Amino acid sequence: MTVPTFDDVLAAAGRISGVAHRTPVLRSRIVDDLVGARVFFKCENFQRAGVFKFRGAYNALVQLPQEQRRAGVVTSSSGNHAQALSLAARLLGIPATIVMPLDAPAVKVAATAGYGGDIVRYDRYAQDYAEIAHGLVAERGLTVIPPVEHPHVVAGQGTAAMELFEEVGELDALFVPVGGGGLFSGSVLSARAMAPDCRLHGVEPEAGDDGQRSLREGRRVTIDTPQTIADGAQTRFLDPLPFEILLRARPTMLTVTDDELVECMRLFAGYLKIVVEPTGCLGFAAVRRAADELRGQRVGVIISGGNVDLDRFAALVGT
Amino acid sequence: MTVPTFDDVLAAAGRISGVAHRTPVLRSRIVDDLVGARVFFKCENFQRAGVFKFRGAYNALVQLPQEQRRAGVVTSSSGNHAQALSLAARLLGIPATIVMPLDAPAVKVAATAGYGGDIVRYDRYAQDYAEIAHGLVAERGLTVIPPVEHPHVVAGQGTAAMELFEEVGELDALFVPVGGGGLFSGSVLSARAMAPDCRLHGVEPEAGDDGQRSLREGRRVTIDTPQTIADGAQTRFLDPLPFEILLRARPTMLTVTDDELVECMRLFAGYLKIVVEPTGCLGFAAVRRAADELRGQRVGVIISGGNVDLDRFAALVGT
C-alpha cells in the first residue's frame, strides 16, 4: 500500500472543495485564560455527517473508476465512518453497503440508513464480518472502503489540519485524537509540510493506549477492545498505514481519562457553546493536562466530531 | 435621539473589526431537508461573551470621549448586556459598574464579575433602580450605556446581519429574535441596504407579543413581564429607537411557543452541534412554523446567543 504524502493531501483538498464543509476555527478568551495559552479549535463536529471522516470517505470514493462506482462500495462500521461513507456515496450516486452487527445501537443504524446506506445486519457472535464482506465483494463486485487503511482516506483526513494551518499560521503544538490513526497521520503529513517546528501530539483514552505503546515499542501493539466513553477511539490497534507515517514522524503520544473527557465536554458546551462527542474531547483534555508546558504558546486542537446521542450528552454535561 | 442609518452600521463594523468575533455561518443538510429550504445560521452564540450584545456595547464605548471613559460607565442588567458591557469596558480600560438586583442568579453575578464589571447590588423590592443609577451618575459622573436605547448600540447590533449578507449574498427572508428590539432594528438597517427584497421577520415569544402589537397598533404597547423561557426576550416593550426604525420598515412580527423553542434547542444540539439559549432559538422556531411558505427559498436566521446554564440546558435537551 502506497504511503500518502502532503501532495496527496493537497490533491484531496482540491477534490473535496465545495463538497466538504470548510469548518470554522473557534477561540475562547475564557479557555485561553484557563489554559494560559492561545488555543485554536478546528471544529470538525461541524463537518458533514458530524465528523471529519467525510473528508477521507469522499476523497476515496471520488477517485474510483466508473466501473467500481457502478458496482458500489462496502464497509463495516457501526459508527462515524458508516455515516460519512453513506453520505459521500449518496452525493456521488454510488451504492453503499454497510455491514453492521445486529446489536448496533438503533440510533446509529437509523442515521446510516438516513444517509442512504444499504445496511446488511449480521450476528457478530455467530458470523464472521470478514466472511460476509468477502462474500459481498465476490458476489456483487463491491469495493471495500475501510475506515482508515487506505491512502486516499488518510490523505483526505489530512485536509482538516491543512485548513487549520492555512487559517491561523504556524503553531507551537497540535493535539489530535487517535483511534485507528487516520486523522492523526493525515494531520502529521500537513503539519510536517506547513509547520515543521510544530510539536505533534496524538491523544488516546487511557484505557486504549495501543498507539502510545506501538510507537514506544516500534511495532503495532494490539490490545483488547478498551472500555472508554470515547467510542471513536475504541480501537484495538493502529492501522499499518498510519503506523508507518507516525513511525517516521515520531510524534508524542498522550493519554487522558474518561473523567477528563467529560469535563472537556462541559467546558466546550459552557464556554464554546458547542456539542462535542467524547472522542472529540481527547485533544483538549491533553492540552489541559499539559498546560504548564504550553504557557503563552499557540496551540491547535482538532475536535474530531460531535456525534453523541442527545440524552447521553445531557446526562454527561448536566449534574 | 438620532436614528442610526446603514452608514452607522458600516462605521460600527470598522470599529469592532478585529475585536468582536466575525462569527461563522453554519448550515446543515438535515435541517435544510427538514424545513425544505436553504437555511443559513449566523451564530452569535459564538460571539464574545456568548451573545451579539458585545457588538453594540463595544461600538458605544469606543466612541466615548476620554473624559467619560475615565469616569466610567454604568448599566443595569442581570443578563447578557451586563456581561458584554463588562468585557467591552475591560478591553478598553473603562471602569464599568453594573447595577444588579440582590436576587439576580449567582451564576450571572459571577460571570459579570468575571468579565471585570464592578457590581452594585440593590433590593429591588425596597429600592428603585433608576434612583440608584441616577445617584451613581450624579456622584461619580458615570455615563449610562443602556442595553438597547442608544444609536451606537443599535448600529453595532446591525453588524451581525451585515456580515451574514456579506457572506451568503441576498436572502429571500431573514428571521431575527426580538426583545427590546436592538438586534432586529439593527438587522433591518443592514437588510434594507444590502438585500432590499429580503422579507424581514422579527420573532417574539408568544407570551411577550408586545412588539407584534406595537407594530399593529402603530404605538409602543407595554405588557406585563412575560412568562417565557426566552429570558432575553422577557421585555415589556420595544424601546423607542428600535420602534422608530421598525415602524418605517414595516417588517412582519411573529410569535412562537416555549415548547417550540425547546424543540429547536434539541435540533441545534443534535444536528448543528451547537448550544443555543432559548432566546436564540426564536428565529429558527418561526422558520419551522413558516416552512410551507419558505419552500425552496434562501433563508437567514440570526442565533442571538448561547448563554444558558448547563444544567438547565441538559434538563431541556435530555428526555
Q: Compute the mean pLDDT over every residue in chain A, rounded to the nearest whole number.
A: 94
Supply A23's cell numbers.
469548518
User: What residues pair up with A255 in beta bridges, in sequence order?
Assistant: A204
Judge: B317–A319 Cβ closer than 8 Å, yes or no. no
| B105 φ/ψ sector (left φ>0, alpha ψ -120 to 50, else beta) | beta
* Amino acid identity for residue A61 in this structure: L
| DSSP H or E segment with residue A184 | helix A182-194
Supply A215's cell numbers.
510507537
CA dihedral B100, B106, B110, B113 (to 10 degrees): 20
Assess whether pLDDT exceeds 80 at residue A1. no
Cβ neighbours for B255, distance < 8 A, ≥ 6 positions apart: B203, B204, B205, B206, B209, B212
Considering only the beta carbons, identify the residue of A50, A314, A319 that sits closest to B318: A314
Tell me A51's DSSP state: B
Closest of B235, B224, B286 to residue B260, by C-alpha: B286
Give the Cα separation of B46 and B51 in Å (integer): 7
**Is the separation of the CB atoms in B280 and B303 below 8 Å?**
yes
pLDDT digits (tens, 9 = 90+) for B1-41: 799 999 999 999 999 999 999 999 999 989 999 999 999 99
Judge: A273–B50 Cβ closer than 8 Å, yes or no. yes
**Is the separation of the CB atoms in A87 and A115 below 8 Å?**
yes
Closest of B243, B254, B310, B311 to residue B285, by C-alpha: B254
Question: Which pLDDT belongs to residue A288?
Answer: 98
| Lowest-pLDDT range of A158-172, B6-20, B132-146, B195-209 | B132-146
* Amino acid identity for residue B25 in this structure: V
Judge: B310–A269 Cβ closer than 8 Å, yes or no. yes
Q: How many CB atoms lie within 10 A of CB B239?
A: 22
Q: Which of the residues B273, B279, B311, B313 would you substitute to probe the A interface, choosing the one with the greatest number of A C-beta atoms within 10 Å? A: B273
Question: Which pLDDT belongs to residue B34?
Answer: 94
Could you say which of B42, B53, B76, B304 is catalytic? Answer: B53
Supply A113's cell numbers.
440508513
**Is the separation of the CB atoms in A192 and A267 below 8 Å?**
no
User: Distance, in angstroms, between B235 CA and closest chain A CA?
Assistant: 24
Evaluate if pTM is beyond 0.95: no
Q: How many CB atoms lie within 10 A of CB A17?
A: 10
The yes-or-no answer on residue B190 being catalytic is: no
Assess whether pLDDT exceeds 80 at residue A105. no
Total beta-carbon pairs less than 8 A apart between chain A and chain B: 72
User: Distance, in angstroms, between B265 CA and closest chain A CA?
Assistant: 11
| Lowest-pLDDT range of A86-100, A153-167, B119-133, B174-188 | B119-133
- Chain B positions in Cβ-Cβ contact with residue A315 (cut-off 8 Å): 314, 318
Question: Which pLDDT belongs to residue A285?
Answer: 98
If pLDDT is split at 50, 70 and 90, which confidence band does B133 have?
A: confident
User: What residues pair up with B144 in beta bridges, in sequence order?
Assistant: B74
* Amino acid identity for residue A86 in this structure: S
Residue of chain A nearest B28, judged by CA positions:
A48
User: Distance, in angstroms, between B249 CA and closest chain A CA?
Assistant: 33
Question: Which pLDDT belongs to residue B126?
Answer: 84
Question: Which pLDDT belongs to residue A60?
Answer: 98
Residue of chain A nearest B51, judged by CA positions:
A273
Higher pLDDT, B264 or A116: B264
Question: Which pLDDT belongs to residue A204?
Answer: 98
Give the Cα separation of B189 and B201 in Å (integer): 13
User: Distance, in angstroms, between B219 CA and closest chain A CA?
Assistant: 37
If pLDDT is split at 50, 70 and 90, which confidence band does A183 have?
A: very high
Assess whether pLDDT exceeds 80 at residue A89. yes
User: What residues pair up with A253 in beta bridges, in sequence order?
Assistant: A202
Give the Cα separation of A183 and A221 in Å (integer): 19
User: Distance, in angstroms, between B309 CA and closest chain A CA?
Assistant: 8
Residue of chain A nearest B275, judged by CA positions:
A273
Judge: B314–A311 Cβ closer than 8 Å, yes or no. no
Question: Which pLDDT belongs to residue A109?
Answer: 84
Task: Report helix angle A80-92 to A106-114, nearest 10.
Answer: 10
Q: What is the mean pLDDT of residues A107-129?
A: 85
Closest of B201, B281, B205 to residue B246, by C-alpha: B201
pLDDT digits (tens, 9 = 90+) for A13-33: 999 999 999 999 999 989 999
Q: What is the mean pLDDT of residues B66-91?
A: 92
Higher pLDDT, B130 or B268: B268
Q: Write down the ipTM of this complex.
A: 0.91
Q: Which of the residues A28, A273, A309 would you substitute to probe the B interface, choosing the one with the greatest number of B C-beta atoms within 10 Å? A: A273
**Within 13 Å and on the Cβ side, how many CA atoms surround B180?**
17
Residue appearing with cell numbers 463486485: A141
Judge: B274–A276 Cβ closer than 8 Å, yes or no. no
Supply B185's cell numbers.
432594528
- Chain A positions in Cβ-Cβ contact with residue B26 (cut-off 8 Å): 24, 46
Distances in Å between the alpha carbon of B222 and those of A108, A117, B212, B247?
49, 54, 11, 16
The yes-or-no answer on residue B187 being catalytic is: no
